[in-house]
């Protein structure tokens, strides 16, 4: 069943604004945890530092940037990555 109602232009704009605010709020919530991470994966670290995974491997071997292994996965601490970004 289809119902038609009439609303003013202002009411329609308010509805659109509410929808846009809700979408923006959800998008911001989805991005917040990334900034709160204590550890980054190899891929995230390489992207943040704009280097290849091979470079990360070499930096780990020569002590430039230390990694942490959790199980079989390799992570880099946020403090190490930020220190490398701001030498």
Q: Does residue 55 form part of some domain? A: yes
What domain range is 77 assigned to?
39-85
**What is the structure's pLDDT at 87?**
65
Mean pLDDT, to the nearest integer, of 59-85?
A: 87
Q: Does residue 56 form part of some domain? A: yes
Question: At residue 51, does pLDDT exceed 70?
Answer: yes
Give CA separation, 44 vs 4, 25, 27, 52, in Å.
50, 24, 19, 11
Answering whether pTM is above 0.75, one says: no
Q: Does residue 8 form part of some domain? A: no
Q: Does residue 30 form part of some domain? A: no
**What is the structure's pLDDT at 86?**
74
Q: pLDDT band for position 57 (50/70/90)?
A: very high
Q: Does residue 68 form part of some domain? A: yes
Mean pLDDT, to the nearest integer, of 66-79?
A: 88
Task: Kindly state the tokens that stand for 86.
Answer: 């701001």
**What is the structure's pLDDT at 36?**
67
Task: Kindly state the tokens that stand for 21.
Answer: 């605010």
Total domains in the fold of the chain? 1
Q: pLDDT band for position 55 (50/70/90)?
A: very high
Q: Does residue 17 form part of some domain? A: no
Q: Is the dihedral of CA 75, 81, 84, 87 positive or negative?
A: negative
């Amino acid at each position: 069943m289809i119902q038609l109602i009439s609303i003013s232009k202002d009411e329609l704009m308010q509805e659109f604004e509410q929808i846009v605010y809700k979408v923006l709020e959800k998008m911001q919530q989805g991005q917040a945890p990334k900034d709160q991470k204590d550890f980054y994966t190899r891929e995230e670290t390489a992207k943040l530092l704009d280097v290849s995974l091979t470079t990360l491997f070499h930096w780990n071997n020569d002590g430039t940037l230390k990694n942490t292994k959790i199980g079989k996965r390799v992570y880099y601490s946020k403090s190490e990555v930020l220190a490398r970004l701001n030498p």
